[in-house]
Amino acid sequence: MPIPPYIADIFKQLPFGIIIARCSDYFFEYLNHKAKEILGFGFDLKNNADKHSPRVGRITQLVQETCLKKHPIQNFLLDLDISGSESTVWAASTAFVKSNKDDSYVLIVLHERAADFRKQNVSVAAPKFESLVGESDVMKKLNSDILNVAQYQTTVLLYGETGTGKELVARAIHALSPRSQGPFVPVNCSALTSSLLESELFGHVKGGFTGAYKDRKGRFEVAQGGTIFLDEVGTLSPSVQVKLLRALQERIIERVGGEDFLPIDVRVLSATNRNLSELVQRREFREDLFYRLKVIQIDLPPLRERKSDIIMLAEYFLEKLARYYNRPVLRISKAAKKLLLNYFWPGNVRELENAVEHAMILTTGSTIEPQFLPPEIRFMKSDGMPPPPSFYDLRSEEEKISRALAAFGYNMTKAAESLNMHRTTLWRKMKEYGMTKKK
């Protein structure tokens, strides 16, 4: 995207950093004098994809986000110097430009500098991540926690109910970390059997087991130089727990069937919706691994504890869906807002997003009315609890049990009847999933 000389002259005189990058490869095509000063005058425009530069990594992340959204981002705080003696924070805004040719471009303006708010304890808002929307106190604390832990290499355990956005938080930590230019590799630990998960995480050699026809890298090797995210870590088998503990302690892995030890340079983030302390007490989870994984623990608040964010989130999802479906942005009526605010949201933010999409698809006018909301919201009980789970298209037995218990106020007999299982079976399933009866 060539810059006309007179525009370049204007940019040169501005006290703001101006950067223009291509969406096809995130290449920085133009930097004005102030941007070069911010990045360092030794910055090479012809070879600016320096994966070892935290400053470039932060800005590239912002470029990627704008290109993917095809929508401008305003007042995103960028901590551009994590290694020097003085940390500088810049407020950045972007603009998305569709070229007449095949490519698109992003213009970034670094338009305000703040002092090192960590050292001076100045109250500066934490960065906004695309899907971590909210202005409640608990969300402000969450954003602050993300910013603080991102700069360190320590393990972080994310704890929260299903649908609270644990992977989104993990991605945000990675994006703000010095490893942001490295890969982010998520692994759902509950989706595979123990033997398959061991191969998935650590890889295998040819002939290591039946069906291993060739060598295969594991996720730890794929994540080299970046971050691996272990979701549902509470479901790990004892054998996998032992190998994971060794990887964390000694920074080496061994492929299944192999004899060589491979060094790894990977940050480990993990998440669970189960109480790992209880699993440790029941000897179902190794205590030493538990403390290795939770050097830092971040608790993600359920949606019912941040009700002031519900309408903001719903409107955000409507804007996102309008862009995706190429439709006008819908309004939410007062009556529909009241239902959204009074609902218990056992599925949290994921359930809210699904409910908004359900309503948008059914709405024929410009306003979402109560009749377009999912039936579990329209027919909820007076205390905001969902109705019996027969209304739901549920994706997992654990979620089905959780909703049934919530629907009947943890009355075991009624919940078991609605699930078409014996009461003792329900007790056994609750123990299996680490659930406890609410008092």
| 264 pLDDT above the threshold of 70 | yes
pLDDT in tens, 349-371: 999 999 999 999 999 889 999 99
Residue 340 is part of a domain; what is its CATH number?
Answer: 1.10.8.60
Distance CA 110, CA 18 (A): 7
pLDDT in tens, 88-98: 667 778 888 88
Whether 396 shows a pLDDT value over 90: the answer reads no
Q: How confident is the model at residue 135 (pLDDT cuts 50, 70, 90)?
A: confident
pLDDT at 395: 47
Using left for φ > 0, alpha for ψ between -120 and 50, and beta otherwise, residue 136 falls in beta
Is 132 domain-assigned? Answer: no
Residue 226 and residue 173 share a domain: yes
CA dist 82 → 31, 129, 145, 233, 275 (Å): 21, 19, 16, 30, 34
Tell whether 129 is covered by a domain. Answer: no
Give yes or no for residue 412 having a pLDDT over 50.
yes
332, β-bridge pairs: 368
Same domain, yes or no, for 75 and 146? no
Q: How many domains does the chain have?
A: 4
Predicted structure pTM score: 0.60
- Of the listed ranges 27-31, 75-79, 173-177, 410-414, the one predicted with least confidence: 75-79
Shared domain check, 115 and 13: yes
Domain boundary among 299, 330, 351: 299
Winning range, highest mean pLDDT, from 132-136, 254-258, 340-344, 416-420: 340-344
Mean pLDDT, rounded, of the chain = 81
**Domain of 99, in residue numbers:** 5-124
Q: pLDDT category, 410, cuts 50, 70, 90?
A: confident
- Pair 110, 195 in one domain: no
Residues 148 and 276 reside in one and the same domain: yes
The mean per-residue pLDDT over the stretch 99-115 comes to 73
Which of the listed residues 299, 326, 341 is the one where a domain comes to its end?
299
User: Does the pLDDT at position 56 exceed 90?
Assistant: no
Does 36 share its domain with 98? yes
> Does residue 418 share a domain with residue 349?
no
The string of DSSP codes covering 316-372 is: HHHHHHHHHHT-PPPEE-HHHHHHHHHS--TTHHHHHHHHHHHHHHH--SSEE-GGG
Q: How many whole angstroms separate alpha carbon 169 and alpha carbon 241?
A: 23
* Higher-scoring residue by pLDDT: 260, 87: 260
**Looking at the structure, do residues 183 and 294 belong to the same domain, yes or no?**
yes
Q: What is the pLDDT of residues 186-224, one digit of tens each?
A: 999 988 888 788 888 998 888 766 666 677 888 999 999
Query: What pLDDT was estimated at residue 364?
Result: 85
Residue 123 predicted with pLDDT over 60:
no
Residue 133 belongs to a domain? no
Q: Are residues 101 and 151 in the same domain?
A: no
Asked if the model's pLDDT at residue 272 lies above 90, the reply is: yes
Task: Report whether pLDDT(54) > 80.
Answer: no
Question: What local confidence, expressed as pLDDT, does residue 128 receive?
Answer: 46
Mean pLDDT of 362-382: 86
Q: Is 232 helix (H, G, I), strand (E, B) or coil?
A: coil
Residues 292 and 153 in one domain: yes
